[in-house]
Amino acid sequence: MEFTKAEVISAAGVLAVTIAALWLLLKTHMKRDDARLEKYERYHESNHKQIVELTGEHRELKGRIEGVENLSKSVLEEIRRMK
């Protein structure tokens, strides 16, 4: 079975149009994915900064709690000594 010149040219045209359409679709998806990735990267960076802040605050509060516990222990020891 042989194809005519017109059929070959027609098939090549259809193939070229299909490839072009798929290429445009791929580029569109890539742009959308890039935009979403940038959004999530900014969100991740923001969350990371917040985690660092909260970690610092947690350490500070933990230190204060330890200080209060040490103070209360020393007060209780003084009270016991006074008895």
What is the distance between the alpha carbons of residues 1 and 45, in angstroms, rounded to a whole number? 62
Tokens standing for residue 43: 């969100």
Tokens standing for residue 82: 């006074």
pLDDT at 17: 98
What is the distance between the alpha carbons of residues 44 and 38, in angstroms, rounded to a whole number? 10
For residue range 32-65, list pLDDT tens digits in order.
Answer: 999 999 999 999 999 999 999 999 999 999 999 9
What is the DSSP-derived secondary structure letter of residue 38? Answer: H
**pLDDT interval class at 83 (50, 70, 90):** confident
Angle at 19 between CA 14 and CA 24, to 5 degrees: 125
The answer, as to whether pTM is greater than 0.75, is: no
User: What percent of the chain stands above pLDDT 70?
Assistant: 100
Using the predicted structure, report yes or no on whether residue 1 has a pLDDT greater than 80.
no
